[in-house]
Structure 1
Amino acid sequence: MKVVLFCGGQGLRMRDAENVPKPMVHLGARPLLWHVMKYYAHYGHKDFILCLGHKAEAIKSYFLNYNECLSNDFVLSAGARNVELVGSDIHDWRITFADTGLHTNIGQRLKAVEKYLQGETEFLANYTDGLSDLSLPAQLEHFHRNGKIASFLCVRPNLSYHLVTLPAGESLVQDIHPIDNGEVRVNGGFFIFRREIFEYLREGDELVEAPFQRLIRERQLLGYSHDGYWACMDTFKDKQQLERHLSSGAAPWEVWKRPALH
């Protein structure tokens, strides 16, 4: 199944994203984009379509000059003249680099790559700014079982704010609790679409506004709730938190490092 990755944003709230697209901000030895792609590749989905925009050349250059040694064991011999890789990351990945415009919104970026999805009955998509330990096979099974056009991940927000219940026109608080402990759910940015999604996407539409409202009216939009790990990298503080997970040696989103189930 093909995977559409939205990589064209500017990451205006990320201090590290001043000179590169936000998906190219590094977590350890690899950029955020690589972590997202590695997640999908782990589940067997290795045909990627990158929707490029802001500083597209940085993404192209990264993969054109990809160094497998940065995230794989290798053997060096003959006075550093021979390098023998013990493992490999991207040897079986297929990546389409698509220019989808500098200031294009997400919906129109998706529309711009429709031609690369010819013949596909369904496909995956991702905002490429969040990481999760979501069981993708479970979300796919839920999607197929319900037979709808679209599904998106619903998660509790990883915010340090408190949600306040304050009736309009009143000042007496009825309730206050951490926003991530309540019933509030946000769009986690992991999507599954049938090809029919393009019938709901009009000229100029943002993805989750008018098109999703059309899907809702026709009872064609699924929300897949996930209470496991999910984190979005919107700010430098978010990046620091993700780096702490990575340096611990047990980053929750690194599902490819888990023991295989038999």
Structure 2
Amino acid sequence: MKVVILCGGLGTRLREETEYRPKPMVPVGGRPILWHIMKHYASFGHKEFILCLGYKGEVIKDFFRNYHWNTSDVTIKLGANAEPVYHNAHDEEDWTVTMVDTGEKTMTGGRLGRVLPFIEEEEFLLTYGDGVTDVSIAKVVDYHRAKGADVTLTAVRPGGRFGELGLDEGMVTSFMEKPEDSPAYINGGFFVMKKAAIKGLIPGDDCILERGPLETLSKTGRLAAYTHDGFWQCMDNVNEMAMLNTLWNSGKAPWKSW
């Protein structure tokens, strides 16, 4: 299955780090958080990625264009036409990464709509470019198919400030972006989607995935939720970035599935 990752937002709440790079490129343990997300998917056999670029997308393009250079020790002679010698092998040789400029001001649903032509299969995976988890992607896919849903999201339990999901026997009955009370389960991303179902719900670039398509699917009983009580953490601010780096540097990062 192809994996679509939303990488185009401005990351305004992490402005200290995102003034010169997009949020998915903010490092955790010396590698972009985007790399950690991709490594998790790849550990479940999903190695075809479609990155929805927007704000400072050229930084992401440069990273993957120069992947060996960015991730290896290297020796280079300073003569004319000298070829660098890379001293590190890596496990990403079989990845395919398609990077699509989906516009700097395009909303999340609009970004997805722009990359649907790159997806030939009936089903695909989608997530945000700023959160990590230890959820089993295989179990989310199996659950999605068992439920016969059009879209399945991963429902997680974080602290406050996120929108709450109403759940009934594994199906989403309400999709509230910012309720006043503390949430129970919230949308943690890590979706499985049917292309035909989601395509008809995206009218254009102004479509916000969470307010239009997902709300519509929840009202019609077509949006499922795989509840995950394990680790999940987004990176919205400096404190969350520091916490993820501390976990990684301790050697006990819960999301490290590879």
Tell me if the contact between 1:229 and 1:252 (Cα under 8 Å) persists in the aligned partners.
Answer: yes
Cα distance between partner residues in 1 of 2:141 and 2:6:
20
Cα distance between partner residues in 2 of 1:90 and 1:206:
32
**Secondary structure of residue in 1 paired with 2:191:** strand
Cα distance between partner residues in 2 of 1:190 and 1:158:
18
* Gap change, CA 1:210 and 1:245, over 3 Å in 2: same
TM-score of the pair, normalised by structure 2: 0.83
Tell me if the contact between 1:68 and 1:88 (Cα under 8 Å) persists in the aligned partners.
Answer: no
**Secondary structure of residue in 2 paired with 1:254:** coil
Cα distance between partner residues in 2 of 1:20 and 1:75:
24
2:111 match: 109
Shift of 1:205: 1.9
2:187 match: 187
1:132-171 matched pairs, under 5 angstroms: 132-159=133-160
Cα distance between partner residues in 2 of 1:210 and 1:17:
27
Q: Structure 1: which amino acid aligns with 2:184? A: V
**Superposed CA RMSD:** 2.3
**Secondary structure of residue in 2 paired with 1:152:** strand
1:1-262 matched pairs, under 5 angstroms: 1-14=1-14, 15-67=16-68, 70=71, 83-85=86-88, 87-117=89-119, 119-159=120-160, 184-195=184-195, 196-203=197-204, 204-256=206-258
Residue ranges of structure 1 left out of the alignment (5+ in a row):
162-177, 257-262
- State percent identity of aligned pairs: 41
TM-score of the pair, normalised by structure 1: 0.82
Q: Deviations over 1:163-202 (max 9, x none)?
A: xxxxxxxxxxxxxxx95xxx71111021110112111222
Q: Deviations over 1:192-249 (max 9, x none)?
A: 1011211122233210112122212321100111000001100000000001100100
Cα distance between partner residues in 2 of 1:31 and 1:112:
24
Residue ranges of structure 2 left out of the alignment (5+ in a row):
76-83, 163-180
1:171 match: none
**Secondary structure of residue in 1 paired with 2:188:** strand
Shift of 1:17: 1.1
Cα distance between partner residues in 2 of 1:155 and 1:68:
36
Cα distance between partner residues in 2 of 1:215 and 1:160:
23
Cα distance between partner residues in 1 of 2:243 and 2:123:
34
Q: Show structure 1 runs of 4+ deviating over 6 A.
A: none
